[in-house]
Amino acid sequence: MPSLYAVIPAGGSGTRLWPLSRAAHPKFLHQLTGTPRSLLQATRDRLVPLSGPDRIFVVTGVAHAAAVARQLPEVPESNILVEPSPRDSCAAIGLAAAIIAERDPTGIMGSFAADHLIPDVEPFVAVVREAMEVAAEGYLTTVGITPTHPETGYGYLRCGASLSIGSAKQVEEFKEKPTLDVARSYLESGRYLWNAGMFVWRVDVFLAELERQQPDLHAGLLKIAAAWHTPSREEVLHREWPSLPRISVDYAVMEGAAAVGRVATVPGTFRWNDVGDFHTVGMTLPADDEGNVVVGDTEAQVLLRDTRDTVVVPRSGRLLATLGVRDLVVVDTPDALLVCARERAQEVKHFVDALKETGDTAYV
Amino acid sequence: MPSLYAVIPAGGSGTRLWPLSRAAHPKFLHQLTGTPRSLLQATRDRLVPLSGPDRIFVVTGVAHAAAVARQLPEVPESNILVEPSPRDSCAAIGLAAAIIAERDPTGIMGSFAADHLIPDVEPFVAVVREAMEVAAEGYLTTVGITPTHPETGYGYLRCGASLSIGSAKQVEEFKEKPTLDVARSYLESGRYLWNAGMFVWRVDVFLAELERQQPDLHAGLLKIAAAWHTPSREEVLHREWPSLPRISVDYAVMEGAAAVGRVATVPGTFRWNDVGDFHTVGMTLPADDEGNVVVGDTEAQVLLRDTRDTVVVPRSGRLLATLGVRDLVVVDTPDALLVCARERAQEVKHFVDALKETGDTAYV
């Protein structure tokens, strides 16, 4: 089995993680891993066993290119692909696929979000290896997560027949975020997995499917990729990129491919979290005996007295003390502080809206 | 009626107001008044109508002399009396009395703590004026506060017969902080006032009573006062001061004077608070419609969303946002942050003890 071309699309801002995550410093750049590594760095770390250090690619925007380059000094400079403007996930992932295909037309590529949390590396690596075997057979392969509860915040995959490759199954359909009742029925049926947005495929298979479903996007990306390692890269990129359709890879390629039987999934049972808000971060990271989770900076001075089930994010270098509280989120950054009921963590994004409205964009 | 010599003993640290109040920057220097004025400044402001600007005296320690001088630029330099070392309240107040007596042997002096909160100035001034009339008759006069609830955190005054001067009464006895049952019985009897540590007397009367009960302390203070405006002040101060007894003015003078019928009180009904902890601060300052109190910095950027009965102390210049919380205290300082249940506010002092134990004295 050849090694993986591991692609990390690094975009998005994460307003539900305000005030830690900002437009200028989105969540993937932050230490939300329970270690001093950022989500982006941890994503890279768990892919290196599959790809080696030189086959990691990152696709990111102009605003974050420098930060990405500094957080990942081991990633070759030419593997940091900077989009001139955001064109959603299909253009980002497709650009990487097309550039990899220039070098290795049947190479196996995987795409993994920069801002997900996967605490246990070994089971992750094992599942991706299995997905690579399935991808080698010509399937667009997803790593689906075996659901643990009827989550309404994720999309789902409806699985069909087992393939004859390991635990892989056909994917019959991609499902949008369900209502709670629907999510419960998914869980009971045993046929559904969470769509964690992790894809593994041969680049030729993906590009063929992209050409079939999104011929304009395919043509544009191929022109850009052909020019990538030439003096005309800049010119071609700035001519072609702005007209590429803004569309997600799920919607542009995966749903249509599933409809014609070309999508497979390998179920993963490792802990996985999309780091949607501080409450879910607290559910994924290890807690102390009182259920408290200190996120990130293990050197921070934190004094928790009679405190339970509280998520603390010390990111200002200041002493952080709590007394007699429970079920809180406390996020301490150099210029803004949040104290929030854990059950209301999703609503933090409203502060971002309010601050935009009042013109306080320094905090956004 | 001559004007008052208003003495402000400015000492103490206020560990129950950590992390705002620190050993190096105790509570009287902080904006805990609901205005940009510090407690010390507000104390000075409400005394000026009684004393005029030039008869304000402050007795403070070496650690705070510079801060006091800068916070009160209107107080004459020679009225800022700096103790070489802390010798408790009787030495501090007695020093001021002896120095004032050098200038005006029968002058009327009042002593008022630097760190109490009295939101309404006019009724305070009226009561002190009445106390000055009683003091002119030769009584050591206290301003007692009519109790509103059976508080166990204050000392009490047991009142006896009415004097023939305004609403003044004899004080029969000083009582230590009572148990709750005892406090309830005090309240029911209608004979007790809170001892707010506000004293008004003729300096000759006070010094005579000091001489009777504490002859060594009296002799030492008189030597220092005699040398105060001479070239030998420094020498006499450093010879006499260290051997002065450490004793409170209540214990050294007032209790014994009450026993021989020389103490009177004028009951005050104005709002008064000893600023013991952030919960009581929140009870004294005006709250918004949701019961929230933002203490001090009216310019601070504070976003309270679905937040109730919470005391917020923004003192770092940072944005402070809360969501879905109630009955909290949030104190935000440049190097330390506290999030505390309001009902546990008294226990904040334990952080100070813990930090001393671990040697983190920068935060103390």
User: How do residues A300-346 score in pLDDT, each as one tens digit?
Assistant: 889 999 999 999 999 899 999 999 999 999 999 999 999 999 999 98
Contact of B153 with chain A, judged by CB distance below 8 Å, is answered with no
Confidence of residue A148 (pLDDT cuts 50, 70, 90): very high
pLDDT at residue A72, as a whole number: 96
- B158 by DSSP, 3-state: which? strand
Contact of B334 with chain A, judged by CB distance below 8 Å, is answered with yes
Architecture per CATH, domain A5-268, reads as: Alpha-Beta Complex (3.90)
pLDDT at residue A31, as a whole number: 86
pLDDT at residue A11, as a whole number: 85
User: How do residues A67-88 score in pLDDT, each as one tens digit?
Assistant: 999 999 999 999 999 999 989 9
pLDDT at residue B11, as a whole number: 85
Q: Do the Cβ atoms of A337 and B325 come within 8 Å?
A: no
The average confidence (pLDDT) of chain A is: 94
Residue labelled with tokens 């400015």: B10
Q: In angstroms, what CA-CA distances link A120 with A39, A269, A286, B124?
A: 13, 10, 12, 66
pLDDT at residue B123, as a whole number: 96
Q: Do the Cβ atoms of A336 and B324 come within 8 Å?
A: no
Interface contacts (A, B; CB < 8 Å): 108
Compute φ and ψ for A194, nearest 5 degrees.
-75, 135
pLDDT at residue B258, as a whole number: 97
Once rounded to an integer, what is the mean pLDDT over residues A89-93? 97
Once rounded to an integer, what is the mean pLDDT over residues A126-152? 96
Q: Write the residue in A325, A333, A334 that is nearest to B339 by C-beta.
A: A325
Once rounded to an integer, what is the mean pLDDT over residues A16-32? 89
Query: What distance in Å separates the CA atoms of residue B96 and residue B6, rounded to the nearest whole number?
Result: 10
Q: What is the DSSP string of A121-173?
A: HHHHHHHHHHHHHHHHTT-EEEEEE--SS--SSS-EEEEEEEPSSTT-EEEEE
Query: What distance in Å separates the CA atoms of residue B304 and residue B323, rounded to the nearest whole number?
Result: 6
User: How do residues A94-114 score in pLDDT, each as one tens digit?
Assistant: 999 999 999 999 999 999 999
pLDDT at residue B150, as a whole number: 94
Query: What distance in Å separates the CA atoms of residue B94 and residue B215, rounded to the nearest whole number?
Result: 12
Element holding B28 (H helix, E strand): none
User: How do residues B224-256 score in pLDDT, each as one tens digit?
Assistant: 999 999 999 999 999 999 999 999 999 999 999
Confidence of residue A175 (pLDDT cuts 50, 70, 90): very high
Ranges of residues in chain B with a pLDDT under 50 are none
Give the residue extent of every domain in chain A.
5-268, 286-363
Query: What distance in Å separates the CA atoms of residue B190 and residue B192, rounded to the nearest whole number?
Result: 6
Rg of chain A (C-alpha set): 21
Compute φ and ψ for A297, nearest 5 degrees.
-75, 100
pLDDT at residue B300, as a whole number: 80
Contact of A347 with chain B, judged by CB distance below 8 Å, is answered with yes
Q: Name the more confident of B63 and A298.
A: B63
Residues of chain B positioned with their CB less than 8 A from the CB of A331: none
Query: What residues have CB less than 8 Å from B208, skipping those under 6 apart?
Result: none
Of A198, A228, A238, A194, nearest in space to A93 by CA = A198
Q: Would you state the torsion angle of the CA atoms of residues B356, B360, B362, B363, taken in this order, to the nearest 10 degrees? A: -70
Element holding B263 (H helix, E strand): strand B263-268
pLDDT at residue B339, as a whole number: 98
Q: Do the Cβ atoms of A337 and B351 come within 8 Å?
A: no
pLDDT at residue A33, as a whole number: 81
pLDDT at residue B286, as a whole number: 87
Distance from CA of B15 to the nearest CA of A (A): 14
pLDDT at residue B326, as a whole number: 97
Confidence of residue A25 (pLDDT cuts 50, 70, 90): confident
pLDDT at residue B183, as a whole number: 96
Q: Write the residue in A325, A334, A363 that is nearest to B340 by C-beta.
A: A325
Residue of chain A whose Cα is closest to the Cα of B343: A324
Q: Say if CB A267 and CB A156 are below 8 A apart.
A: no
Q: Do the Cβ atoms of B330 and A322 come within 8 Å?
A: no
ipTM: 0.77
User: How do residues B117-135 score in pLDDT, each as one tens digit?
Assistant: 998 999 999 999 999 999 9
Distance from CA of B113 to the nearest CA of A (A): 29
Crossing angle between the packed helical segments A88-103 and A203-213, to the nearest 10 degrees: 130
User: How do residues A31-81 score in pLDDT, each as one tens digit?
Assistant: 888 788 999 999 999 999 999 999 999 999 988 999 999 999 999 999 999
User: How do residues A216-275 score in pLDDT, each as one tens digit?
Assistant: 999 999 999 999 999 999 999 999 999 999 999 999 999 999 999 999 999 998 989 888
Of B274, B144, B196, nearest in space to B284 by CA = B274
pLDDT at residue A276, as a whole number: 83
What is the reported pTM? 0.80
Contact of B354 with chain A, judged by CB distance below 8 Å, is answered with yes
Q: Say if CB A7 and CB A57 are below 8 A apart.
A: yes
pLDDT at residue A14, as a whole number: 76
